[in-house]
Amino acid sequence: MTKPALVDRLEAFLDVLKYERNLSVKTQENYRRQILAIMDNIDIEDWSVLSITHVHKVLSEGRKKNLSARSIALRLSALRTFCDYLVSQNVLLSNPAKAVQSPKLGKPLPKNLNVDEINQLLNVEPESVLAIRDRAMMELTYGCGLRLAELAALDIQDIQTAGQVKVLGKGSKERIIPVGKMALAWINKWLQVRNQLAPPAEENALFVSKHKRRISHRQIAKRMSLWAGKQALAQKVNPHKLRHSYATHMLESSGDLRAVQELLGHANLSTTQVYTHLDFQHLAKVYDTAHPRARKK
């Protein structure tokens, strides 16, 4: 049975995530789900007695349930963040989860589409309103490296006349991204026929569905997968794969890790580093060339 004292602390933590850290609803729910699962695995009345032993038990229970290493690591990460909050509230003197090592994870990256495959995918004929919309969505996703949520959240006014798009990324951080000529051309084609699905006065979303409202994340992914089949691609396609392809192609062409970080909206450079296929030697070369303290005198 769930202990009220444990639940009260969890709800207070979730309020911090919502109102102070401004995290997405999805992220808040992920934390809630992980902490509730942890509460089911430990027998305590109050968070103040949480110890390293309890943390180890959480991990061992995850292994007994055949959770993947990644799922166990995610649970431990959620617990660490929650414990940091408990320390800030003087409930715990120190964070016991920080003393426990996460399971070792491989870093499998989705195979990006090469340029020929991108061209094959995007060679969509404007035979219908939906085909024009879908090509515009795919051109914009690949052309700007957008996340799925960023693409779905775009409003008409976010496409700026200077050939830029205003994007609201993770943590409600806004960034301006240049839009390539091809993506811009297809957005303009889409805007010319968009009224057939939903007049702007009724719905402000840039991309809308047949139901005259903002297209959902699920529907976007479904349409991209559909076009991968229609265009006879050998691998599956989703918004993340287009974003990954954008990052890989941009970094391979420019070697400018910092610029690609800004374009992708990554808070940390290490995230961009993992996101690409470049090896360490290449990154080290970029660093040695660019960093003032790395240059040899």
Q: Which residues are catalytic?
A: 147, 170, 240, 243, 266, 275
d(CA 120, CA 118): 5
Residue pointed to by tokens 């996101």: 275
* Residues 141/264, Cβ–Cβ less than 8 Å: no
Which 3 state secondary structure label does DSSP give 176?
strand
Burial class for 279, CB neighbours closer than 10 Å (0-12, 13-18, 19+): exposed
* Among the listed residues 229, 279, 292, 227, the one whose alpha carbon sits nearest the alpha carbon of residue 251: 279
Angstrom distances, CA of residue 263 to CA of 99, 163, 178, 278 = 35, 15, 9, 17
Angstrom distances, CA of residue 87 to CA of 2, 58, 60 = 22, 19, 24
Q: Where are the beta strands (DSSP E) in 152-241?
A: 159-160, 164-168, 174-178
Give the chain's count of helices (H) and strands (E). 13, 3
